[in-house]
Amino acid sequence: MDEITYRTTIRNESKKGVVLWQRTGAGMGFVAPGKSITLESWNKDAPYSPYEEVIYKNDNVVELKENPLWPKPNSKWHLTALNRDGRAMETRIVCGHELVLLKGIPVTVVTPCDDPWAVYLAMTIQLARVREGVNKEYPEYSSFCWRLQDTFTDRPESELLELDEELKKLLE
Tens of pLDDT, residues 43-80: 888 889 999 999 999 877 899 999 998 888 778 899 99
Is residue 60 located within the same domain as residue 134? no
What do you get for the CA distance between the two ends of the chain, in Å?
43
In the predicted structure, residue 8 carries a pLDDT above the cut 80: yes
Give the pLDDT score at 53: 96
Residue 155: pLDDT band with limits 50, 70, 90: very high
Give the pLDDT score at 132: 85
Is residue 139 located within the same domain as residue 162? yes
Is residue 67 located within the same domain as residue 43? yes
Please compute the mean of the pLDDT values over residues 30-51 and round it to a whole number.
92
In the predicted structure, residue 1 carries a pLDDT above the cut 70: no
Is residue 30 located within the same domain as residue 60? yes
Q: Cα(160)–Cα(121) distance, rounded to whole angstroms?
A: 10
Is residue 31 located within the same domain as residue 94? no
Residue after which a domain boundary falls, among 71, 90, 114 = 71
Give the pLDDT score at 35: 96
Residue after which a domain boundary falls, among 71, 100, 130 = 71
Residue 144 structural domain = 73-172
Number of domains, the chain: 2
In the predicted structure, residue 7 carries a pLDDT above the cut 90: yes
Is residue 48 located within the same domain as residue 89? no
Is residue 34 located within the same domain as residue 88? no
DSSP assignments along 122-135, one per residue: EEEEEEEEEEEEE-
Is residue 133 located within the same domain as residue 80? yes
CB 20 within 8 A of CB 28: yes
Count Cβ neighbours within 10 Å for each residue of 136-159 and write b for 16 or more, e otherwise.
Answer: eeeeeeeeeeeeeeeeeeebeeee
Residue after which a domain boundary falls, among 71, 88, 108 = 71
Residue 124: pLDDT band with limits 50, 70, 90: very high
Q: Cα(82)–Cα(101) distance, rounded to whole angstroms?
A: 7
Q: Cα(172)–Cα(169) distance, rounded to whole angstroms?
A: 5
Is residue 38 located within the same domain as residue 104? no
Give the pLDDT score at 96: 86
Phi, psi dihedral angles at 111 (to 5 degrees) = -115, 125
Model-level pTM? 0.80
Is residue 172 located within the same domain as residue 88? yes
Q: CA 168 → CA 111, 116, 132, 154, 171, distances in Å? A: 17, 15, 42, 20, 5
Is residue 167 located within the same domain as residue 103? yes
CA dihedral (5, 111, 28, 17) in degrees, to 10, reads 110
CB 55 within 8 A of CB 20: no
For the chain, the average pLDDT equals 89
Is residue 55 located within the same domain as residue 88? no
In the predicted structure, residue 167 carries a pLDDT above the cut 70: yes
Please compute the mean of the pLDDT values over residues 134-138 and round it to a whole number.
81
Residue 159: pLDDT band with limits 50, 70, 90: very high
